[in-house]
Structure formats: structure tokens, C-alpha cells
Amino acid sequence: MHLPFSGGLIRSCQPGDSDSLAREADNRNIWLTVRDRFPHPYTRAHAEAWIDRVTSDRPETHFAIDLGAGAVGGIGLELQKDVSRYSAELGYWLGQAHWGRGIMTAAVSRFTAYAFETFDLCRIYGLVFETNPASQRVLERAGYALEGRLRRAVYKDGRILDQFLYAVSHPPRLPHLPSCEGMDIAPS
């Protein structure tokens, strides 16, 4: 995958990304705003295992953000299952040295369009801790709407936090399911 956006490139991870990914991801300020499954400390071995996994996933759903000197962040989708099979959860992070330059707003906007073009999705959503106004802003500027505040939904770093649910919906593009024509899904 090779998806240019304003300011950078979203691309498939490569084995040579492990050093830069580990360097950028090994940051408590990143860990504080993501799930605990994101390792901290984040080692080269964690990066290698991640690259192995995401480059063998089919379909490929997790990618690197490259600003011209290697992978310095990540963006991806968790495709949902069962009755949520036409939904996906968006996730992303960027090395702290690159924050505040509009990079993730541009990346999320471009990647959201790509995701709707590429996968059979009616809905993409993101979950953001109340302590992360920058990520809330990214989603708002990328066209996501605030759907709700999930009270006391998260336990992170010894604290219970609220979480915001943002989503963008899309008319269904499911030719194999003609009954979707009548689905009550408003374009966002």
C-alpha cells in the first residue's frame, strides 16, 4: 500500500522500519493515550513482532506513517465482526517530535477516504480518552462526529477516565447485499 497525503505517506510496514518505529513509539506520552496492549517500554523486538504481524495480515489493515525519513507513526483499522462486520475502529499514533503540524489530521482524512474505498464499510469510529484533546480535534477536523461520552469506560495509568466516541458513516457500498438499499444510513 502506498497512499500519499499532504505532508507524508501512509505505506505498508517494512522490515527496515523496526529501528525508527521503536525509537518513536518508546514514549510514555504516547502510551498514556492508547490501549495498554501498546507496549511500554517499546523495544526493537516489539517493533519487529508488529511488522511481522501486520505485513502478513490479509487484508492488510495496519500501516506506517512515513514523513520522508522512515516510519515515525502508525495508522490502521480493526475490522469488526458479526453484526458489526461493516464497521471498523480507527487507530493511530505519531512520534512526538512531529506533533502539532497538522500531520495526523491530514493522514486520518486521507486514510478514512481510502478505507471506505477499499473495504465494505458503513461506519468507521474512533475512541478517544478524555485526556486527549488533540486526538478529539484530529477526528473532528477529519469529518468525524462526536456520538457520545462513555462515562468511566477506561482504566489507564491508575485512573478511571471517560472516553469519547467519534464516528463517520457512509452510504453502504455493498452490491452483494441489495437489501442495504433500504438501510437507514445518512451520508455524513
Ligand X SMILES: CC(C)(COP(=O)(O)OP(=O)(O)OC[C@H]1O[C@@H](n2cnc3c(N)ncnc32)[C@H](O)[C@@H]1OP(=O)(O)O)[C@@H](O)C(=O)NCCC(=O)NCCS
The footprint of ligand X (CB under 6 A) covers 30, 33-34, 92-94, 99-105, 126, 128, 132-135, 137-138, 141
Query: 71-79 and 62-66: which strand pairing?
Result: antiparallel
Q: For the chain, how far is it from start to end, CA to CA, in angstroms? A: 26
DSSP readout, 31-82?
A: HTTS-TTS-SS--HHHHHHHHHHHHH-SS--EEEEESSSSEEEEEEEEE--G
- 14 in helix, strand or coil? coil
Q: How far is the CB of 76 from ligand X (least distance, A)?
A: 11
Q: Is the CB of 101 or the CB of 177 nearer to ligand X?
A: 101
Q: Is the CB of 15 or the CB of 41 nearer to ligand X?
A: 41
Q: Is the CB of 99 or the CB of 178 nearer to ligand X?
A: 99
Q: How far is the CB of 32 from ligand X (least distance, A)?
A: 8
Q: How far is the CB of 176 from ligand X (least distance, A)?
A: 32
Q: How far is the CB of 81 from ligand X (least distance, A)?
A: 21
Residue 63, exposed/middle/buried by CB under 10 A (0-12, 13-18, 19+)? buried
Q: Is the CB of 20 or the CB of 105 nearer to ligand X?
A: 105
